[in-house]
C-alpha cells in the first residue's frame, strides 16, 4: 500500500534548522511505495552539525565512562524493545529479507551489550619507571568529533559499529547515512536520542555524494572533525583517505571485497554448497563480505558444480517479507550498476543457476519466484563458470547475485588465485585438514578467515575489517575498535623533588660480565 503521507527523514541536529531538496526513499520490493520523503542536507548542513558536535564534545567526555556505558545499555534495550518495528522498516526500505533484517537488529543489541561493559574497562596502565620516585601512566582519551559515512546495505547494524564505541568513549558523532536508507537512520537516531544522549552528541544528516564530499572537506579545513569512519566503495575510500591524509588524520575505512571461498578435496561438499549459497546470494550479493569466486579443487569440482547448480536453481527468491534467500536490489542505482557488471560475462564463460540472466520479468521469469516480480527490482541469481584470473569479472567487486567458479590443482595456486584481485576483506576454506587450514590462513591476505563457514557472518565482538583494496587495516567491532575512537595519552609524574633525566641519569648496578664458571 502506498503511503499517502510518508514521513520526512531530514537532518536531525540539535538547534539547527536545515533545508534542501527532497527525494523519495522507495521500497525496492514495491516500487510504488514511498517509505519516506528524504530532505537532503547540503555541505553547510554537515559543517553546522560538526560545529554542534564540537560544542557538545567536552561535556560528553566529562561524563564518567561507566555512565556513558549505561546510556549505551539503554540504547540496546530500546532497540530490543523496538526490534520488530525496526527490522520491518529495514525490510521495507532496502528490501532485505525479514529474517536477515532481524539478525541485523540483533547485531545492534549485541554490540550495545558488549560496549556497556567496556564503559567500565576503558583501562590505561601503570608502567614501571626506570627512575626512583617516579610513576608512569597511560590513558585512553576520545579523539573528539567523528564523522561517520555509511552505506545502506546494512542500514542499522554497520552504523552501530561506529556509533556505539565512538559515543561510549566520549566522542560526539555526525552521521551521514545513505539517502536510500534515511528512514532507517532516522529511526536509529531517535532510539539513540531517547537512550539519554545529551543534545548535540549525535547528529544525522542525509546528503548526496557531492554535498558529503564538500561538507567533509570544509569541516576538516575548519578543524571541526578529528576522525572519519567510512563504509562504502574502494573508489570513494581512496578519496577520503587522501583528504584525511592532508590533515594528518587516519580514517577508519571499511571498503569492498572480492571474497574467495576455497573448496579442498576433503571438504564436506554439501556444507560448502550451503555456505556458497548464503555467502554469494544472501542480501542479493550486496554485502561487502559477499562471496565473489568459489575456487574448487579439480578432483571435487564436478560434484560441487552439480550440487551448487541445484541449490541455486531451487533457492526461493522474491518478496522479502516471505521466506526467501534474497529479495530485490537495494535501490535503482545498484540495479543499474549490477547490469553493467553482467556485461562482464564473456564468451568463454558458462552461466547457470536460473532460467535467465538479468532482471526477473514476465518475459524472463524465474521458476518458483515468490510474489510478483513486476513490483520490484528483482534479479536472477547467476553462477559464472570458467572465470580466469585476467577476467574483469574475476577481479572486480560485482555487488549483486553473481558468483564466479574456478578450479585449482594445489593449495598454493588456490591461495594465489584467492589473493589475485587485491582485495583483502573476507575469505573461507572448506576442509577437515588442520594443516590445510593453517597454510591457507598464513597465505591469504584477507583480514577475516572462515573455516567451514561462509564468507559472510561477523560476530559483534570479533574484529571486522580488511586490507588492500578492502581497507587501510583499521578494524571495527570488539575491543579492537577502541584504537579507532580513542587516542593514547602518556603521563610521567616525578615526585623525587629533582630533575631526573631518563636514559641519562638511570642508575644501573655494575656487573662483571667477564665472570666465567670454573670448568
| DSSP character at residue 7 | P
Strand-by-strand arrangement of the 125-127 sheet: 125-127, 134-142, 486-494
The length of the chain in residues reads 519
Quote helix, strand, coil % in the chain, to nearest 5: 40, 20, 40
Given the residues 104, 118, 288, 397, the one annotated as active site = 288
Q: Phi-psi region for residue 500, left (φ > 0), alpha (ψ -120 to 50) or beta?
A: beta
Sign of CA dihedral 186, 187, 191, 192: negative
Largest CA distance in the chain: 98
User: Per the structure block, which three cell numbers stand in for 317?
Assistant: 527468491
Contact 428, 450 (CB under 8 A): yes
Rounded CA separation 51/32 (Å): 38
User: Per the structure block, which three cell numbers stand in for 462?
Assistant: 570479533
Q: SS3 of 384, please? A: strand
Q: SS3 of 423, please? A: strand
Cell 644501573 locates to 508
Rounded CA separation 5/119 (Å): 41
For 459-490, give one letter per residue: b (16+ CB within 10 A) or e: ebeeebbbbbbbbbebbbbbebbbebbbeeee
288 is catalytic: yes
254 is catalytic: yes
State the DSSP H helix or E strand holding residue 24, giving kind and residue range, or none if neither: strand 22-27
User: Per the structure block, which three cell numbers stand in for 136?
Assistant: 608512569
Closest CA relative to residue 404, chosen from 381, 422, 380, 426: 381
Alpha-carbon separation of residue 260 from 38, 375, 429 (angstroms): 37, 33, 8
Rounded CA separation 282/96 (Å): 9
Residue 464 dihedral angles phi and psi, to the nearest 5° = -120, 130
| DSSP character at residue 326 | B
Given the residues 37, 100, 104, 254, the one annotated as active site = 254
Beta bridge partners of 9: 38
- The angle at the Cα of 465, spanning 175 to 143, to the nearest 5 degrees, equals 45
Contacts of 434 (CB under 8 A, 6+ apart): none
Q: Which residues are catalytic?
A: 254, 288
Amino acid at each position: 500500500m502506498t503511503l499517502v503521507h510518508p514521513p520526512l527523514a531530514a537532518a536531525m541536529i540539535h538547534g539547527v534548522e536545515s533545508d534542501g531538496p527532497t527525494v523519495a526513499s522507495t521500497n525496492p520490493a514495491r516500487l510504488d511505495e514511498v517509505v519516506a520523503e528524504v530532505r537532503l542536507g547540503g555541505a553547510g548542513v554537515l559543517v553546522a552539525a560538526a560545529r554542534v558536535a564540537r560544542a557538545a564534545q567536552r561535556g560528553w567526555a566529562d561524563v564518567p565512562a561507566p555512565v556513558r556505558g549505561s546510556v549505551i545499555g539503554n540504547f540496546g534495550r530500546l532497540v530490543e524493545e523496538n526490534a520488530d518495528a525496526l527490522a520491518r522498516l529495514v525490510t521495507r526500505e532496502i528490501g532485505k529479507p525479514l529474517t536477515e533484517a532481524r539478525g541485523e537488529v540483533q547485531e545492534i543489541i549485541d554490540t550495545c551489550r558488549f560496549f556497556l561493559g567496556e564503559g567500565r574497562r576503558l583501562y590505561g596502565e601503570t608502567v614501571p619507571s626506570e627512575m626512583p620516585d617516579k610513576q608512569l601512566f597511560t590513558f585512553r582519551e576520545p579523539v573528539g568529533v567523528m564523522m561517520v559515512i555509511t552505506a545502506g546495505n546494512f542500514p542499522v547494524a554497520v552504523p552501530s559499529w561506529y556509533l556505539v564505541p565512538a559515543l561510549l568513549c566520549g566522542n560526539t558523532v555526525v552521521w551521514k547515512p545513505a539517502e536510500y536508507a534515511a528512514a532507517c537512520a532516522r529511526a536509529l537516531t531517535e532510539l539513540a536520542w531517547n537512550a539519554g544522549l545529551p543534545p548535540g552528541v549525535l547528529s544525522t544528516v542525509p546528503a548526496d555524494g557531492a554535498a558529503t564530499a564538500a561538507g567533509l572537506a570544509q569541516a576538516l579545513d575548519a578543524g571541526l572533525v578529528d576522525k572519519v569512519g567510512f563504509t562504502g566503495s574502494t573508489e570513494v575510500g581512496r578519496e577520503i583517505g587522501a583528504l584525511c591524509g592532508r590533515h594528518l588524520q587516519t580514517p577508519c575505512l571499511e571498503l569492498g571485497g572480492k571474497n574467495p571461498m576455497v573448496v579442498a578435496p576433503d571438504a564436506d561438499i554439501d556444507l560448502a554448497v550451503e555456505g556458497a549459497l548464503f555467502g554469494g546470494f544472501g542480501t542479493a550479493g550486496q554485502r561487502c563480505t559477499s562471496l565473489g569466486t568459489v575456487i574448487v579443487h579439480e578432483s571435487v569440482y564436478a560434484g560441487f558444480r552439480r550440487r551448487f547448480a541445484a541449490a541455486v536453481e531451487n533457492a526461493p527468491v522474491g518478496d522479502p517479507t516471505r521466506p526467501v534467500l534474497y529479495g530485490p536490489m537495494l535501490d535503482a542505482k545498484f540495479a543499474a550498476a549490477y547490469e553493467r557488471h553482467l556485461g562482464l560475462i564473456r564468451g568463454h564463460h558458462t552461466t547457470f543457476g536460473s532460467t535467465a540472466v538479468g532482471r526477473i520479468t514476465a518475459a524472463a521469469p524465474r521458476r518458483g519466484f515468490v510474489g510478483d516480480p513486476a513490483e520490484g527490482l528483482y534479479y536472477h541469481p547467476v553462477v559464472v563458470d570458467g572465470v580466469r584470473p585476467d577476467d574483469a569479472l574475476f577481479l572486480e567487486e560485482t555487488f549483486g547475485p553473481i558468483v564466479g567458479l574456478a578450479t585449482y590443482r594445489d593449495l598454493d595456486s588456490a591461495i594465489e588465485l584467492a589473493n589475485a584481485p587485491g582485495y583483502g576483506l573476507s575469505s573461507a576454506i572448506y576442509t577437515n585438514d588442520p594443516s590445510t587450514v593453517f597454510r591457507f590462513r598464513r597465505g591469504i591476505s584477507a583480514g577475516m578467515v572462515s573455516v567451514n563457514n561462509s564468507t559472510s557472518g561477523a560476530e559483534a565482538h570479533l574484529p571486522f575489517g580488511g586490507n588492500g583494496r578492502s581497507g587501510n587495516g583499521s578494524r571495527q567491532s570488539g575491543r579492537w575498535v577502541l584504537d579507532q575512537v580513542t587516542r593514547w595519552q602518556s603521563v610521567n609524574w616525578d615526585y623525587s623533588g629533582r630533575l631526573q633525566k631518563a636514559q641519562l641519569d638511570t642508575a644501573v648496578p655494575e656487573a662483571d660480565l667477564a665472570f666465567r664458571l670454573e670448568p
